[in-house]
Amino acid sequence: MKSIRFRDPPLSVKHQITFFQRLSHILEKGYPLLDALKMTGWDVALKPTTEAVARSLSKGDTLDAACEKARFSSTVTQFLYFSHIHNDLPKTLKQCKDLLQMKKDYKQRFFQVIRYPLFLFIFLVIAFLILQQTVMPNFVLLFEGQENKALGLMVLMTHALNAIGICSIIFFLSLMCLKFILPHLTLQKKLSFYHRVPLVKFYQSFSLSFLFTTHLYSLLQAGLTLKESMELMKNHKQYEILSFYSEQILSELSEGKSFGEALHSCTLFRTELTDIFHHTNDIKALQDELEMLAAFFMEYMQEKIKAWLQMIQPVFFVCIAVVIISIYASIMLPLYQWMQQI
């Protein structure tokens, strides 16, 4: 039975979003968690999930462990790790819902944006392969033994398009390999990779800063000190980089450095985060600024992703237009030159 459960597919993102939306709404009304789960299970589609989570909780599991057994995504289970520390569970569940909703919306929008250009690109590749196998060999035979600059352009264009195709295949294969290899790399190698690739560094920087800010705010709001909060983050090994950074911060603090100075050693954290600890000493003021900063990180990431998605289609269409013009020129120029010689 255990092996069968291991092979079960994860819950759909839509299912998880609905679950967290309903559960957080009921908890806000003041109901206990188990009662709220039972009421969420009134929806027949959610009942198996609510029963699985309630069963795990009854056995003494924490909420994050219960959700992991119920096949929620790792994004959610890692985020829920600190839910048993602070007393604002409805807000935490809403944040889980918002994270999943953002991933779902932008993934859906990305595929909508890329669908037509990708179809056009595939059609173009097929057309080029047909031209390469039929039209171009005939042109080469037609001008064989003649000095023809236009024919040289055709041959050069053919090699260039072949090179672009090979590079594209290598790029996509590299991405696929990276997806499977990256999780198995050591922490130091992951950090080195994140620092070397600008786009990945940008995403990781905002993602880590948002997670650190959100969790630190929640832990401080629950009454923990900065040091106790760092200890908890250090022990959460599923957030590998955050755990490493928390340990690094604690080490710096033990050497007598201030919290702001200790944060500078965490190179993937945004400067907005480190600046807060240089001009804020009061814990209440710090909580307010961390809450505002977490909202800023979320909004800024959403704006950037929207901007990137809006750029995909124009860039893709320009590249395709260049390829079409190049193919047309490589075919028509030799033909025009041949007609002038008649």
Residues 230 and 337 in one domain: yes
pLDDT band at 54 (very low <50, low <70, confident <90, very high): very high
**Residue 221: its H or E element:** helix 198-221
330 near 162, Cβ under 8 Å?
no
141 near 154, Cβ under 8 Å?
no
Q: Which residue has the higher pLDDT, 10 or 142?
A: 10
Residues 162 and 224 in one domain: yes
Quick one: 131 exposed, middle or buried, by C-beta within 10 A (0-12, 13-18, 19+)?
middle
Query: Which string of DSSP letters, residue by residue, matches 10-48?
Result: PPPHHHHHHHHHHHHHHHHTT--HHHHHHHHTTSTTTHH
Domain membership flag for residue 296: yes
State how far Cα 300 lies from the chain centre.
14
**Distance between CA 265 and CA 118 in Å, rounded?**
42
Taking only the tens place, the pLDDT of each residue in 272-327 is 888 887 776 677 788 888 888 888 888 888 788 778 777 877 877 787 777 777 66
Residues 94 and 152 in one domain: no
Q: Which residue has the higher pLDDT, 36 or 146?
A: 36
**Distance between CA 118 and CA 105 in Å, rounded?**
20
Residues 67 and 155 in one domain: no
**Of 46, 75, 101, the domain-final residue:** 101
Taking only the tens place, the pLDDT of each residue in 101-134 is 877 887 777 777 777 777 777 777 777 777 777 7
pLDDT at site 207: 84
Residues 202 and 326 in one domain: yes
> Which tokens is 58 given?
């009854």
Residues 323 and 227 in one domain: yes
Domain membership flag for residue 106: no
- 188: containing domain: 146-341
Q: What is the mean pLDDT of residues 132-157?
A: 65
166 near 158, Cβ under 8 Å?
no
294 near 213, Cβ under 8 Å?
yes
pLDDT of 151 > 80? The answer is no
Domain membership flag for residue 110: no
State how far Cα 313 lies from the chain centre.
20
Residues 190 and 312 in one domain: yes
**Residue 133: its H or E element:** helix 89-133
The answer to whether the Cα torsion of 109, 112, 114, 117 is positive or negative is: negative
Answer whether 0.75 is exceeded by the pTM.
no
Q: What is the mean pLDDT of residues 159-167?
A: 75
Number of domains in the chain: 2
Domain membership flag for residue 256: yes
Q: Name residues whose C-beta falls within 8 Å of residue 286's C-beta, 6 or more positions apart in sequence.
A: 220, 276, 277, 280
Domain membership flag for residue 109: no
Residues 220 and 276 in one domain: yes
Please report, to the nearest 10 degrees, the dihedral formed by the alpha carbons of residues 92, 208, 187, 238 taken in order.
0
| Cα 275–Cα 279–Cα 282 angle in degrees, nearest 5 | 120
Helix (H, G, I), strand (E, B) or coil at 41: coil
**Distance between CA 79 and CA 238 in Å, rounded?**
10
DSSP state of 102: H
**Residue 289: its H or E element:** helix 283-341
Q: What is the mean pLDDT of residues 87-104?
A: 82
Please report, to the nearest 10 degrees, the dihedral formed by the alpha carbons of residues 76, 79, 84, 89 taken in order.
-70
Residues 207 and 92 in one domain: no
Domain membership flag for residue 140: no
Residues 169 and 263 in one domain: yes
Residues 96 and 152 in one domain: no
209 near 297, Cβ under 8 Å?
yes
Residues 223 and 328 in one domain: yes
